[in-house]
Structure 1
């Protein structure tokens, strides 16, 4: 069953997603990042090029000819074919349609109250479906 990790109280979802992608790549994991829309996907694509002066984080937008060979895929379109389903980083306010296809899902919830409310609704829905859940609150030890 899919394991779902909630990361809440995140001030900058894009920066956080970049750090998760870097950590996942370092551990040889394959990740799909689900953006809210095409603009956020493009912003994340640009941010991954500049996350660190010393790190290269190989990534492409879904549908790119190199997607099958690339460990980090960015998409805002859940209908596009994905080359792997190991980890999903959800930056949206909705439940991903392909949630159950992934071994692990990271729900990234910002400090914005509307985003937090949507995250709480997803948490309750996942709990009712008996998904294994963990919760990490940024800024707390």
Structure 2
């Protein structure tokens, strides 16, 4: 069964995602990030600029796109639909609605900022996963972890 984790009180959602993805690459873990197209474009840009000393290998796929064969081993996939990257073990979800297809991943991570509207959206996603029998782990992010 998929392990579901919520990371709460994140001051900057995209910066936190960048750091989380950098950590995943360093550990050799492949990660899919699902989100609306506009969020993925911002994350793609952030991954190029958040740390000028480091590169986080990733690819951005539009809905319905398939990566060229030479890029299929890229560790981080930014996708609009999670099933585009279901071969990876971890899904980081940055959308407002529950992640579709999360069940095919070993781990689902939801990143929740401090914004009240975003927290309300996260509560709905939490209830969605809990209603389906998933045990959810809560992780409070401290100021130094953002």
Same fold (TM > 0.5):
yes
1:45 CA displacement = 0.6
- Where do 5+ consecutive residues of structure 2 fail to align? none
1:51 aligned onto 2:50 = yes
Structure with greater helix share of residues: 2
- CA–CA distance in structure 2, aligned partners of residues 79 and 88 of structure 1: 7
Matches within 5 A, 1:1-141: 1-35=1-35, 37-62=36-61, 63-65=66-68, 66-76=70-80, 78=81, 81-82=84-85, 84-139=87-142
Runs of 4+ in 1 over 6 A off after TM superposition: none
Q: TM-score, normalised by structure 2?
A: 0.86
CA displacement 1:41-89 (0-9 Å, x = unmatched): 111111111221222210001233244110000022x176326231011
RMSD: 1.9
- Where do 5+ consecutive residues of structure 1 fail to align? none
The SS at the match of 1:15 is helix
How many pairs does the alignment contain? Answer: 139
